[in-house]
Amino acid sequence: MSHKPLAPETLRVVAQRFKILSEPARLEVLNMLRKGPLNVSELIEATGLNQANLSKHLQILHAGGFVMRRRDGLFVIYEVADHSVFTLCDLMCGQLKRHATAQVKQLRMVR
């Protein structure tokens, strides 16, 4: 009756990737990069995050392979590595809407 157990290691690495997307700041960074590459200074302006904090988030996104980077003189330019991340976000939004709708219906039944 039980389902084939996924390797604990698999569960860990997948969960870890979800964790990277579980910060509003990082989602905003990805969203800002949706239209195209930006350097760190532009991202500071676009997101309002302070330099050190943004840099940390960028390292995390980069380590997870969500963004690529290249140096251009003094600047470092970041860009989305895998646009399927936006598919993920859209799916998540869809679930969110369905869940919210279900909750509203539930409330209506109570009244």
Partner DNA sequence: TCTCTATATAACTACATAGAAATATGAAAT
Partner DNA sequence: ATTTCATATTTCTATGTAGTTATATAGAGA
Write out the residues near its own copies by the rule CB under 8 A.
1-3, 5-6, 8, 11-19, 21-24, 26-28, 31-36, 38, 42, 45-46, 64-65, 81-82, 84-85, 87-89, 91-96, 98-99, 102-103
Of positions 10, 18, 19, 103, contacts DNA by CB under 7 A: 19
Phi, psi of 65 (to 5 degrees): 80, 15
Close Cβ partners of 89 (under 8 Å, ≥ 6 residues apart): 21, 27, 30
Q: Please tell me the distance from the alpha carbon of residue 32 to that of residue 105, in angstroms, as a whole number.
A: 35
d(CA 109, CA 103) in angstroms, rounded, equals 10
- Which of DNA, its own copies, none binds 37 (CB below 5-8 Å, type-dependent)? none
Q: Which does 50 bind (CB under 5 to 8 A by kind): DNA, its own copies, none?
A: DNA
Interatomic CA distance for residues 108 and 1, integer angstroms:
37
What is the sign of the dihedral through the CA atoms of 47, 52, 58 and 60?
A: negative
Minimum separation from the CB atom of position 18 to its own copies (A): 4
Residues binding DNA (CB under 7 A): 19, 23-25, 39-41, 44, 49-53, 55-60, 69, 71, 73-76
